[in-house]
Amino acid sequence: MIKFTKMQGLGNDYLYISTVNDENFISEEKLPELAKYLSNRHFGVGSDGIIIIEKSNIADFKMRIFNSDGSEAEMCGNGIRCFAKYVYENKLTQNKNISIETLCGIKKVTLEEKDGIINNVTVDMGEPIFEKEKIPVLFDERKVNKNETVQNDKNKNKIPVTINLKVLDKIFNINCVSMGNPHSVIIVENVEKIDIAKYGKEIENNSVFPKKTNVEFVQILDKENIKMRVWERGSGETMACGTGACAVAVICNLLGLTKRKVNVLLRGGKLKIQWKKENHRVYMTGSATKVFIGKINEILP
Protein backbone atom coordinates (compact mmCIF):
# COMPACT_ATOMS: atom_id res chain seq x y z
CA MET A 1 0.00 0.00 0.00
CA ILE A 2 1.27 3.47 -0.89
CA LYS A 3 0.07 6.63 0.83
CA PHE A 4 0.23 9.82 -1.18
CA THR A 5 -0.86 13.44 -1.15
CA LYS A 6 -1.95 15.15 -4.33
CA MET A 7 -0.79 18.78 -4.47
CA GLN A 8 -0.72 21.46 -7.12
CA GLY A 9 1.11 24.68 -7.80
CA LEU A 10 -0.92 26.74 -10.27
CA GLY A 11 -2.44 23.54 -11.66
CA ASN A 12 0.94 21.80 -12.09
CA ASP A 13 -0.05 18.72 -10.08
CA TYR A 14 2.04 15.95 -8.56
CA LEU A 15 1.55 13.03 -6.21
CA TYR A 16 3.82 13.36 -3.17
CA ILE A 17 5.08 10.15 -1.59
CA SER A 18 7.17 10.37 1.58
CA THR A 19 9.82 7.82 2.54
CA VAL A 20 11.30 9.95 5.35
CA ASN A 21 9.95 7.81 8.19
CA ASP A 22 10.52 4.54 6.30
CA GLU A 23 6.94 4.41 5.11
CA ASN A 24 6.04 3.77 1.47
CA PHE A 25 9.07 1.69 0.53
CA ILE A 26 9.36 1.55 -3.26
CA SER A 27 12.18 -0.27 -5.03
CA GLU A 28 14.30 1.97 -7.25
CA GLU A 29 13.62 0.05 -10.45
CA LYS A 30 9.85 0.43 -10.04
CA LEU A 31 9.79 4.23 -9.75
CA PRO A 32 9.53 5.03 -13.49
CA GLU A 33 6.68 2.56 -14.05
CA LEU A 34 4.97 3.73 -10.86
CA ALA A 35 5.09 7.32 -12.12
CA LYS A 36 3.53 6.35 -15.45
CA TYR A 37 0.84 4.29 -13.76
CA LEU A 38 -0.16 6.77 -11.06
CA SER A 39 0.01 9.80 -13.38
CA ASN A 40 -2.43 8.33 -15.89
CA ARG A 41 -5.62 10.40 -15.65
CA HIS A 42 -7.84 7.52 -16.78
CA PHE A 43 -6.38 4.41 -15.15
CA GLY A 44 -4.35 5.92 -12.30
CA VAL A 45 -4.79 8.88 -9.97
CA GLY A 46 -3.92 11.56 -12.51
CA SER A 47 -1.02 14.02 -12.30
CA ASP A 48 1.92 15.54 -14.14
CA GLY A 49 4.15 13.09 -12.28
CA ILE A 50 5.19 11.90 -8.83
CA ILE A 51 7.58 13.50 -6.33
CA ILE A 52 9.41 11.39 -3.77
CA ILE A 53 10.31 12.94 -0.40
CA GLU A 54 13.52 11.42 0.96
CA LYS A 55 16.12 11.97 3.65
CA SER A 56 19.25 13.84 2.61
CA ASN A 57 22.85 13.75 3.80
CA ILE A 58 23.58 17.26 2.52
CA ALA A 59 20.31 19.19 3.03
CA ASP A 60 17.14 19.07 5.12
CA PHE A 61 15.36 16.88 2.55
CA LYS A 62 15.85 15.36 -0.88
CA MET A 63 13.34 15.75 -3.73
CA ARG A 64 13.11 13.32 -6.64
CA ILE A 65 10.81 14.08 -9.57
CA PHE A 66 9.43 11.57 -12.05
CA ASN A 67 7.44 12.88 -15.00
CA SER A 68 4.28 11.24 -16.26
CA ASP A 69 6.33 9.41 -18.92
CA GLY A 70 8.56 7.87 -16.25
CA SER A 71 11.62 10.04 -16.90
CA GLU A 72 13.39 11.62 -13.93
CA ALA A 73 13.64 15.42 -13.96
CA GLU A 74 16.33 17.59 -12.41
CA MET A 75 14.05 20.27 -10.99
CA CYS A 76 10.44 21.49 -10.80
CA GLY A 77 9.65 24.99 -9.57
CA ASN A 78 5.99 24.38 -8.82
CA GLY A 79 6.82 20.98 -7.38
CA ILE A 80 9.40 22.27 -4.93
CA ARG A 81 6.96 24.84 -3.48
CA CYS A 82 4.45 22.08 -2.77
CA PHE A 83 7.26 19.89 -1.44
CA ALA A 84 8.17 22.55 1.13
CA LYS A 85 4.53 22.97 2.14
CA TYR A 86 4.20 19.20 2.55
CA VAL A 87 7.19 18.71 4.85
CA TYR A 88 6.17 21.68 7.04
CA GLU A 89 2.48 20.92 7.36
CA ASN A 90 3.15 17.22 7.92
CA LYS A 91 5.50 18.19 10.77
CA LEU A 92 8.60 16.68 9.18
CA THR A 93 10.23 20.02 10.04
CA GLN A 94 9.41 23.09 12.12
CA ASN A 95 11.62 25.38 10.08
CA LYS A 96 10.25 27.91 7.63
CA ASN A 97 13.61 28.15 5.89
CA ILE A 98 14.35 24.80 4.31
CA SER A 99 17.15 23.41 2.16
CA ILE A 100 16.15 20.81 -0.42
CA GLU A 101 18.52 18.58 -2.37
CA THR A 102 17.66 18.18 -6.07
CA LEU A 103 19.47 16.80 -9.10
CA CYS A 104 20.50 20.37 -9.97
CA GLY A 105 21.84 21.25 -6.53
CA ILE A 106 20.50 22.43 -3.18
CA LYS A 107 17.63 24.92 -3.29
CA LYS A 108 16.73 27.23 -0.40
CA VAL A 109 13.04 27.76 0.27
CA THR A 110 11.21 30.27 2.48
CA LEU A 111 7.66 29.60 3.68
CA GLU A 112 4.98 32.22 4.33
CA GLU A 113 2.55 31.03 7.02
CA LYS A 114 -0.84 32.43 7.94
CA ASP A 115 -3.10 30.81 10.56
CA GLY A 116 -1.05 27.63 10.47
CA ILE A 117 -1.36 27.26 6.70
CA ILE A 118 1.40 27.80 4.14
CA ASN A 119 0.05 30.05 1.39
CA ASN A 120 3.04 31.35 -0.54
CA VAL A 121 6.51 29.91 -0.95
CA THR A 122 9.63 31.68 -2.23
CA VAL A 123 12.40 29.64 -3.81
CA ASP A 124 15.95 30.73 -4.54
CA MET A 125 16.24 29.12 -7.97
CA GLY A 126 19.92 29.96 -8.39
CA GLU A 127 21.66 31.56 -11.35
CA PRO A 128 20.62 30.94 -14.95
CA ILE A 129 23.05 28.89 -17.03
CA PHE A 130 23.98 30.17 -20.49
CA GLU A 131 26.81 27.83 -21.54
CA LYS A 132 25.53 25.72 -24.42
CA GLU A 133 27.34 22.63 -23.15
CA LYS A 134 25.60 22.89 -19.80
CA ILE A 135 22.08 23.65 -21.06
CA PRO A 136 22.75 21.44 -23.14
CA VAL A 137 22.22 22.41 -26.77
CA LEU A 138 24.24 21.34 -29.81
CA PHE A 139 25.19 24.21 -32.14
CA ASP A 140 27.86 26.87 -32.49
CA GLU A 141 26.06 30.11 -33.21
CA ARG A 142 25.46 32.72 -30.49
CA LYS A 143 23.40 35.86 -30.94
CA VAL A 144 22.24 38.57 -28.57
CA ASN A 145 20.38 41.85 -28.70
CA LYS A 146 23.24 44.28 -29.31
CA ASN A 147 22.13 46.55 -26.46
CA GLU A 148 21.74 43.84 -23.84
CA THR A 149 24.30 41.86 -21.86
CA VAL A 150 24.51 40.77 -18.25
CA GLN A 151 27.71 40.59 -16.22
CA ASN A 152 28.57 37.95 -13.68
CA ASP A 153 30.72 38.38 -10.60
CA LYS A 154 33.89 38.14 -12.70
CA ASN A 155 32.64 40.83 -15.09
CA LYS A 156 32.34 38.41 -17.98
CA ASN A 157 29.40 38.93 -20.29
CA LYS A 158 26.69 36.29 -20.23
CA ILE A 159 24.40 36.19 -23.23
CA PRO A 160 21.50 33.94 -24.19
CA VAL A 161 22.12 31.22 -26.75
CA THR A 162 19.81 31.79 -29.72
CA ILE A 163 19.05 29.58 -32.71
CA ASN A 164 16.67 29.64 -35.65
CA LEU A 165 15.11 26.19 -35.88
CA LYS A 166 12.86 24.89 -38.64
CA VAL A 167 10.05 22.87 -37.10
CA LEU A 168 7.57 21.33 -39.52
CA ASP A 169 6.18 24.30 -41.47
CA LYS A 170 7.59 27.11 -39.28
CA ILE A 171 10.93 28.63 -38.34
CA PHE A 172 11.22 29.52 -34.65
CA ASN A 173 13.72 31.90 -33.05
CA ILE A 174 14.59 30.00 -29.88
CA ASN A 175 16.41 31.43 -26.85
CA CYS A 176 18.06 28.65 -24.84
CA VAL A 177 18.88 28.74 -21.13
CA SER A 178 19.01 26.34 -18.20
CA MET A 179 17.53 26.78 -14.75
CA GLY A 180 19.00 23.45 -13.73
CA ASN A 181 16.95 21.92 -16.55
CA PRO A 182 16.87 22.95 -20.24
CA HIS A 183 14.48 25.60 -21.56
CA SER A 184 13.66 26.96 -25.01
CA VAL A 185 11.95 30.36 -24.90
CA ILE A 186 10.06 31.59 -27.95
CA ILE A 187 8.56 35.09 -28.19
CA VAL A 188 5.22 35.20 -30.07
CA GLU A 189 2.52 37.81 -30.66
CA ASN A 190 -0.30 35.71 -29.19
CA VAL A 191 0.23 32.53 -27.15
CA GLU A 192 -3.38 31.47 -27.70
CA LYS A 193 -2.82 31.13 -31.43
CA ILE A 194 0.04 28.65 -31.08
CA ASP A 195 -0.65 24.96 -31.71
CA ILE A 196 1.44 23.97 -28.71
CA ALA A 197 0.83 20.23 -29.04
CA LYS A 198 1.96 20.30 -32.67
CA TYR A 199 5.13 22.33 -32.24
CA GLY A 200 5.99 21.75 -28.57
CA LYS A 201 6.51 18.02 -28.97
CA GLU A 202 8.65 18.47 -32.07
CA ILE A 203 10.89 21.05 -30.40
CA GLU A 204 11.17 19.02 -27.17
CA ASN A 205 12.50 16.03 -29.10
CA ASN A 206 14.66 17.85 -31.65
CA SER A 207 18.18 16.42 -31.99
CA VAL A 208 19.81 19.76 -31.06
CA PHE A 209 18.62 19.12 -27.50
CA PRO A 210 20.43 15.97 -26.32
CA LYS A 211 18.49 15.88 -23.03
CA LYS A 212 15.29 17.16 -24.68
CA THR A 213 13.94 20.56 -23.65
CA ASN A 214 11.03 22.37 -22.03
CA VAL A 215 9.38 24.79 -24.46
CA GLU A 216 7.89 28.16 -23.44
CA PHE A 217 5.81 30.30 -25.78
CA VAL A 218 5.79 33.86 -24.49
CA GLN A 219 3.65 36.95 -25.12
CA ILE A 220 4.89 40.28 -23.74
CA LEU A 221 2.02 42.28 -22.22
CA ASP A 222 4.15 45.11 -20.83
CA LYS A 223 7.45 45.65 -19.00
CA GLU A 224 6.16 43.94 -15.85
CA ASN A 225 3.78 41.27 -17.16
CA ILE A 226 4.37 38.23 -19.35
CA LYS A 227 1.89 35.65 -20.60
CA MET A 228 3.21 32.13 -21.07
CA ARG A 229 2.21 28.67 -22.21
CA VAL A 230 4.50 25.72 -21.62
CA TRP A 231 5.17 22.33 -23.14
CA GLU A 232 7.02 20.42 -20.43
CA ARG A 233 9.62 17.81 -21.22
CA GLY A 234 8.14 14.42 -20.39
CA SER A 235 4.65 15.72 -19.54
CA GLY A 236 3.26 17.71 -22.49
CA GLU A 237 1.39 20.97 -21.98
CA THR A 238 0.90 21.75 -18.31
CA MET A 239 -0.94 24.49 -16.46
CA ALA A 240 2.30 26.01 -15.18
CA CYS A 241 6.06 25.55 -14.96
CA GLY A 242 8.11 27.30 -12.29
CA THR A 243 11.55 26.79 -13.81
CA GLY A 244 10.05 27.81 -17.15
CA ALA A 245 8.71 31.04 -15.70
CA CYS A 246 12.19 31.81 -14.34
CA ALA A 247 13.79 31.07 -17.70
CA VAL A 248 11.28 33.30 -19.46
CA ALA A 249 11.85 36.19 -17.03
CA VAL A 250 15.61 35.99 -17.56
CA ILE A 251 15.43 35.84 -21.36
CA CYS A 252 12.86 38.64 -21.66
CA ASN A 253 14.99 40.90 -19.48
CA LEU A 254 18.14 40.11 -21.47
CA LEU A 255 16.32 40.96 -24.69
CA GLY A 256 15.25 44.32 -23.23
CA LEU A 257 11.57 43.42 -23.21
CA THR A 258 10.88 43.46 -19.46
CA LYS A 259 12.21 44.57 -16.10
CA ARG A 260 14.03 42.24 -13.71
CA LYS A 261 10.91 41.83 -11.56
CA VAL A 262 7.89 40.52 -13.45
CA ASN A 263 4.60 38.69 -13.13
CA VAL A 264 4.42 35.57 -15.29
CA LEU A 265 0.81 34.73 -16.12
CA LEU A 266 0.26 31.03 -16.77
CA ARG A 267 -2.86 29.02 -17.46
CA GLY A 268 -2.92 27.98 -13.80
CA GLY A 269 -2.28 31.39 -12.29
CA LYS A 270 0.50 33.90 -11.55
CA LEU A 271 4.11 33.56 -10.45
CA LYS A 272 6.24 36.46 -9.23
CA ILE A 273 9.78 36.25 -10.58
CA GLN A 274 12.71 38.49 -9.66
CA TRP A 275 16.17 38.24 -11.22
CA LYS A 276 18.33 40.16 -8.78
CA LYS A 277 21.08 42.29 -10.27
CA GLU A 278 23.36 42.15 -7.24
CA ASN A 279 23.77 38.36 -7.14
CA HIS A 280 22.27 37.26 -10.49
CA ARG A 281 20.04 34.74 -8.72
CA VAL A 282 16.42 34.17 -9.66
CA TYR A 283 13.69 34.14 -6.99
CA MET A 284 10.26 32.64 -7.57
CA THR A 285 7.21 33.25 -5.37
CA GLY A 286 3.89 31.47 -5.77
CA SER A 287 1.17 29.41 -4.17
CA ALA A 288 1.12 25.76 -3.13
CA THR A 289 -2.12 23.84 -2.55
CA LYS A 290 -3.01 20.45 -1.11
CA VAL A 291 -5.75 18.77 -3.13
CA PHE A 292 -6.38 15.49 -1.27
CA ILE A 293 -4.68 12.54 0.42
CA GLY A 294 -5.14 8.91 -0.52
CA LYS A 295 -3.67 5.44 -0.68
CA ILE A 296 -3.32 2.78 -3.33
CA ASN A 297 -3.44 -0.91 -2.51
CA GLU A 298 -2.39 -2.17 -5.94
CA ILE A 299 0.96 -0.55 -6.69
CA LEU A 300 1.15 -1.65 -10.34
CA PRO A 301 -1.37 -3.40 -12.58
Residue 36 near residue 48 (C-beta atoms within 8 A): no
Residue 47 near residue 68 (C-beta atoms within 8 A): yes
Omega of the bond prior to 210 within 30 degrees of 0, cis? Answer: no
Choose, from 82, 176, 241, 246, the residue flagged as catalytic.
Answer: 241
Q: Closest Cα partner for 12 from 43, 50, 44, 40?
A: 50
Q: What gap in Å lies between CA 41 and CA 20, rounded to an integer?
A: 27
Choose, from 76, 82, 176, 252, the residue flagged as catalytic.
Answer: 76
Strands 225-232 and 261-266: parallel
3-state secondary structure of 204: helix
How would you label 160-186 residue by residue, b for 16+ Cβ within 10 Å and e otherwise?
bbbbebebeeeebebbbbbbbbbbbbb
252 is catalytic: no
Cβ neighbors of 81 (< 8 A, separation 6 or more) are 9, 109, 121, 123, 242, 284, 286, 287, 288
φ and ψ of 210, to 5 deg: -65, -25
- Supply the residues annotated as catalytic: 76, 241
